Amino acid sequence: MKGSIRPFRSLALVGALALLLAACSSDDGGGGGTGGGNDQNAGDRTLVISNWDAYMPKKLIPNFEAATGIDVQLAIHTTNEDIMGKITAQDGGGFDVVFVSGPFVQALVAQGWAAELDHSQIPNLANLYPEATQLAFDPGNRYSIPYAWGTTGICYRTDLVQQMPSSWDVFRNPPADLAGKMTMLGTDRWLLQPALISLGYSINTTNPAQIEEATAWTLEAKDNLLGFDDTTFYSKLVSGEASLVQAWDGWCEYGRADEPKIDFVVPDEGSDVWTDTMVILASSEHKEEAHEFLNYVLDPKVGASVSGFVLYKVPNEPAMESVDPALLEQFPTLALSPSDLFQQEAEEDLGQGVSAWSEAVAQIKAG
């Protein structure tokens, strides 16, 4: 039995290394911890809030804590789908306040997970633009307070395109110099949008024939793309890797902040208007504190700081009026008025139509 020790040692070594390796590579998934929202002692002034990363000025939470004495635990989600998954996994619990987009307010309400708001505790509601109180997904702000809103359009390098883009058709029939130099958004709702709008259909359609037509349109466009990109498209513009991308207005401004030769246009055919909101969960045991937070965010000064930080418009009239004019000049999409914005179609939940959409997405990505 010569060498009977050796193999054991080498196996143990490899085992240890493998463990080490597993431990070190386990950080590639999304964030995990959700924190316990429903503390037993409801007497504590605490709040668990979940928001997108970097979607709030860094000082907002510390300032709120200082002003109210409420202890805030901030969780991060990467997408609407991510936070919905976390809430679903905890059967509607885990958080006091969550930031989600309009269609997801509808989903939360339908599941009975959104708390009805007590407007008497939110005096700053008066600061909202009239348009912000009549949102299709939640008329009268019964369950949600809009936080920021914007539209989707074409973001491009003025020095790398021959002609200013004016139509979504640029993705399907690009001039030769743009082929392979464009990206489109890859998540379900925005992937089909250029096609649906070009074809004259609603962006909330669930009609299978229309979705099929839009799928064919997008498959044609795919041949001209560098790729689908939801997260780094503006840096691709800055580096010159891409010349023209489908982009949310505020994220186009992130690009413009680094490269002034970037501009944004809403195509002639129109676009969408999306709204990100704050919702209090029905399971929250800190509803009073949660209302205080919503009211705090609606303060004009706070609203203006949000707009200046995230470079999106906020639905807060006095806040937008107080935004530094120099900022509006540097980032023109901030100057889009609510009436401009609401000429576009608002996003709504697709309900059971989601399956047809996700099938279309799989078809486009696999094609």
Partner 1 sequence: MLLGPGVTWWVVFFAVPVAILFAYSFFRRGTFGGVVYDLSLDNYRRAIDPLYLNILWFSIRVAVITTGLALLIGYPAAYFIASSPRRLRLPLLVIVILPFWTSFLIRTYAWIVLLNPVGLINRSLQGLGVTDGPLPLLYNEFAIVLGLLYAYLPLMILPLYASIERLGPSVREVAADLGAPPANTFLRVTLPLTLPGIAAGCIFVFVPSLGNFIVPELLGGGRKIMMGNLIQQQFLQARDWPFGATLALFVVALMLVLLAIQARILNRERSQASDGR
Q: Which of 67, 88, 134, 166 binds partner 1 (CB under 8 A)?
A: 88
Stretch that binds partner 1, among 13-21, 165-173, 259-267, 307-315 (CB under 8 A): 13-21
Q: What are the C-alpha distances in Å from 262 to residues 156, 163, 208?
A: 6, 14, 37
Query: Beta strands of 189-266 (E only): which ranges?
Result: 225-228, 244-248, 262-265
The CB-of-69 to partner 1 minimum distance in angstroms stands at: 36
Specify burial of residue 276 (Cβ count, 10 A radius: 0-12, 13-18, 19+): buried
Stretch that binds partner 1, among 33-41, 143-151, 200-208, 352-360 (CB under 8 A): 352-360
C-alpha atoms less than 13 angstroms from C-alpha of 9 in its C-beta half-sphere = 4
The CB-of-157 to partner 1 minimum distance in angstroms stands at: 12
Distance CA 356, CA 223 (A): 22
In the complex with partner 1, the residue whose CB is nearer, 38 or 79, is 79
CB atoms within 10 A of CB 317: 18
In the shown chain, the binding pattern of residues 14 to 33 toward partner 1, with x for contact by CB under 8 A and - for none, equals x--xx-xx--xx-xx-----
Q: Which of 96, 138, 229, 263 binds partner 1 (CB under 8 A)?
A: 229
- Strands 97-101 and 272-280 turn out to be antiparallel
Stretch that binds partner 1, among 5-13, 118-126, 155-163, 274-282 (CB under 8 A): 5-13
In the complex with partner 1, the residue whose CB is nearer, 22 or 326, is 22
For the segment 184-223, give every residue that binds partner 1 (CB under 8 A): 186-188, 222
CA 204, 208, 211: angle at the middle one, nearest 5?
60
For the segment 107-136, give every residue that binds partner 1 (CB under 8 A): 107, 110-111
The CB-of-136 to partner 1 minimum distance in angstroms stands at: 16
Distance CA 257, CA 366 (A): 35
Query: Beta strands of 20-135 (E only): which ranges?
Result: 46-52, 71-77, 97-101
Is there a contact between 133 and 126 (Cβ–Cβ < 8 Å)? no
Stretch that binds partner 1, among 115-123, 126-134, 239-247, 262-270 (CB under 8 A): 239-247
Instruction: Report DSSP state, residue 274.
Output: E
Q: Which H/E stretch holds residue 63? A: helix 60-68
Considering the rule CB under 8 A, would residue 226 count as an interface residue with partner 1? yes
The CB-of-365 to partner 1 minimum distance in angstroms stands at: 4
Q: Which of 31, 35, 57, 227 binds partner 1 (CB under 8 A)?
A: 227
Contacts to partner 1 by CB under 8 A: 3, 6-7, 10-11, 13-14, 17-18, 20-21, 24-25, 27-28, 79, 81-82, 84-85, 88, 106-107, 110-111, 183, 186-188, 222, 225-229, 239-241, 349, 351-352, 354-355, 357-359, 361-363, 365-366
